[in-house]
Structures are given as structure tokens and as C-alpha cells.
């Protein structure tokens, strides 16, 4: 994939891409794919590193420039709102703002404003109710319909204050460290949360793992002070124990990196990067029809039964359907 080659060159010091689009239509397809993969600004940085004769036509480059300007402006607004929130909860409640994903991951990139972000995710735990009360006292509407988090908008930026971060009431004891104006998860726990978030959304919601997430993973594992042995200890008994190793292998193969991963594990289980791509990156757009979703999901579970069993130690029918049926029953009781 041409986008992968561009990211490999720009972010990880790989060779100059040898195959690039030869016409405007090809460059337009690359631009559109960069948007789907949430790496438009990162690809733009790679394009500017190319010799001028290899860059896209002026019209396409203008599309990139305009989109990158929007991404950077949105990130500035999001960061400013985050700092205002952090100052407010510190002043009024003597609480820190504990950030996950978003700004914490953006800080790992050469140009933080070019890592696409959405809302501001925070871990507020047992302090969520106090923060919700503060927001409402400040005239801000808060949505608490989701039991996992409370959401609101501050200065035009969406915030989610999480009672817990994981999805099955299986949070670990999270640890945070000081950043510039707020706190962020320590690197290994950020990686664990990122792996859980990626895997859950790909498997249970069929949201594909995008190249942005692979780049995030690679930047985390390459960060100064990252302790791989601690990450492995954290994930050892979790449902992402194999997933995280396979994710690392995918990063190595796609970005030509040498991040440590358990190659013998893949030999024993018969897994490869192609399996990671098929299971987690190639997900059809969500159908509005529940029947279509069930058929698609069931076919995928059947087709890749061996791979799922190798990763999770059980069939996906047992892991997905039995768990969700039981959850539905509990909600009716």
C-alpha cells in the first residue's frame, strides 16, 4: 500500500517510496484512503519530504494542505479546551485531569498537531460524579446515558469522562504521570488500553483497526523508557495477550520495524500479519440491518475459526454471542 510506504519513510526513516500514483486519479484515491485511515496530515508530512517532481499535482496537494490546516486547527482547539478543563477541575475540585489516547498519543509524534484526534477522553473514575456536578453548575449539559462515561461539550470540544476504561468491568489499577498541564497514563498502561480499545471495537463493533492506530502502537513501543516486559506482564492473562503480539508483528512487517515480538508464538499458533489484516483491518461498513450484521459476523467467525481460536482459545461464537446473550438476559432481569 502506497500510504504505508509513505508513513514508513516519514515516521520511521524507511526508504523513499518507489511506487507512487502516476496520475491525478491515483493521487485522489490516495488522498481519500488517507482520510479513511485517519492519517491525512501524517501522509502530508511524508509528501513534503519527497522531491518536488514526485509530489502530487497542485490540486491534490491543495486538498491535503486544506485538510491538514483543519486537522491542526481542530487539535489546537481541543488542546486549549483540555487545558481549560484541567485548570477548572484543579482550581474547583483539586483534581487532576487524567488524559487517555488523544493528546497523550499525539505527543509521541514529530508534529503532535498532525495526529488526528476526536474528543478528549479522560479517566475520572470515582470522581466522575463530582466533575459532572461541576459542569452542570457551570451551565454545561451532561449526557450520562452510557454507564461507561459521562459526556459533554466545553468550548465546542467533546469530552468523555470515564468511570472505567475497559469494557467488561476488568480495569487494572491505572497509573498516571505528569505531562504539560495534565496527567497521562504511563506508557505501558497506555499501550494496554490502546490494544484493548482497538481489539474490542474491531471484534464487537466491526470498526476496522486503522493505520493511525498501528502508527500509535509503533510510536508507543519505540518511546523512550517503554518497558516491554511490564506490558507483557499486564496483558499476560487478558484477552489481548496474543492480539498485542500480533499487532506488533503487523507494525514490523508493514513499517519495516524491528519491535520485539514473540515470533515463536506465531509459529506455534500458525498466525501471520495477513491474519491480523483480515481479522481486524478489513471490516465492511456497518450495515443498518441487524440481520446483515449477524450474517456477516457469523460468516467471518466461521471462515477464520482457526485463527480466532488460536488468538482467544475459544470460538468467536462462544466469546461474542454467549456473552452478549447473557448480558441481554441480565439487563431484563
pLDDT at 248: 98
Nine-digit cell at 223? 518511546
The pTM of this model reads 0.93
- The residue among 169 and 230 whose pLDDT is bigger is 230
Q: Is residue 332 pLDDT above 70, yes or no?
A: no
CA atoms of 28 and 26, how far apart (whole Å): 5
pLDDT at 323: 59
Please compute the mean of the pLDDT values over residues 71-82 and round it to a whole number.
97
Q: Is residue 235 pLDDT above 70, yes or no?
A: yes
Q: Is residue 326 pLDDT above 80, yes or no?
A: no
pLDDT at 293: 81
Q: What is the pLDDT of residues 104-132, one digit of tens each?
A: 999 999 999 999 998 999 999 999 999 99
All structural domains of the chain: 93-185 (3.30.460.40), 186-333 (no CATH)
CA atoms of 34 and 24, how far apart (whole Å): 15
Q: Is residue 168 pLDDT above 90, yes or no?
A: no
Choose from 14-23, 81-90, 283-292 the range with maximum mean pLDDT. 81-90
Mean pLDDT of the chain: 92
- The least confident of 19-28, 102-111, 311-320 is 311-320
Amino acid at each position: 500500500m502506497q500510504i504505508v510506504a509513505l508513513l514508513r519513510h516519514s515516521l520511521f526513516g524507511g526508504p523513499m517510496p518507489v511506487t507512487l500514483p502516476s496520475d491525478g486519479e491515483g493521487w485522489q484515491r490516495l488522498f481519500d484512503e488517507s482520510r479513511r485511515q485517519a492519517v491525512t496530515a501524517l501522509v502530508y508530512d511524508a509528501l513534503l519530504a519527497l522531491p518536488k517532481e514526485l509530489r502530487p499535482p497542485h490540486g491534490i496537494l491543495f486538498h491535503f494542505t486544506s485538510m491538514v490546516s483543519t486537522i491542526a486547527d481542530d487539535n489546537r482547539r481541543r488542546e486549549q479546551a483540555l487545558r481549560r478543563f484541567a485548570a477548572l477541575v484543579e482550581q474547583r475540585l483539586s483534581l487532576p485531569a487524567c488524559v487517555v489516547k488523544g493528546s497523550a498519543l499525539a505527543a509521541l509524534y514529530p508534529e503532535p498537531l498532525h495526529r488526528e484526534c476526536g474528543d478528549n477522553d479522560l479517566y475520572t473514575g470515582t470522581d466522575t460524579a463530582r466533575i459532572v456536578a461541576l459542569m452542570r453548575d457551570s451551565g454545561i449539559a451532561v449526557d450520562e446515558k452510557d454507564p461507561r462515561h459521562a459526556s459533554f461539550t466545553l468550548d465546542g470540544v467533546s469530552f468523555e469522562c470515564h468511570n472505567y476504561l475497559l469494557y467488561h468491568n476488568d480495569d487494572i489499577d491505572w497509573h498516571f504521570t505528569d505531562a504539560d498541564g495534565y496527567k497521562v497514563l504511563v506508557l505501558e498502561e497506555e499501550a494496554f488500553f490502546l490494544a484493548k480499545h482497538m481489539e474490542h471495537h474491531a471484534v464487537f463493533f466491526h470498526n476496522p483497526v486503522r493505520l493511525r492506530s498501528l502508527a500509535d502502537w509503533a510510536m508507543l513501543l519505540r518511546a523512550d523508557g517503554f518497558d516491554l516486559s511490564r506490558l507483557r506482564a499486564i496483558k499476560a492473562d487478558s484477552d489481548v495477550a496474543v492480539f498485542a503480539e500480533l499487532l506488533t508483528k503487523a507494525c514490523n512487517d508493514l513499517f519495516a520495524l524491528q519491535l520485539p515480538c514473540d515470533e515463536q508464538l506465531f509459529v506455534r499458533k500458525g498466525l501471520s500479519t495477513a491474519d491480523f489484516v483480515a481479522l481486524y483491518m478489513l471490516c465492511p461498513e456497518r450495515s443498518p440491518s441487524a440481520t446483515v450484521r449477524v450474517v456477516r459476523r457469523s460468516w467471518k467467525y466461521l471462515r477464520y475459526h482457526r485463527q480466532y481460536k488460536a488468538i482467544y482459545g475459544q470460538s468467536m461464537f462462544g466469546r461474542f454471542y454467549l456473552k452478549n446473550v447473557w448480558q441481554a438476559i441480565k439487563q431484563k432481569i
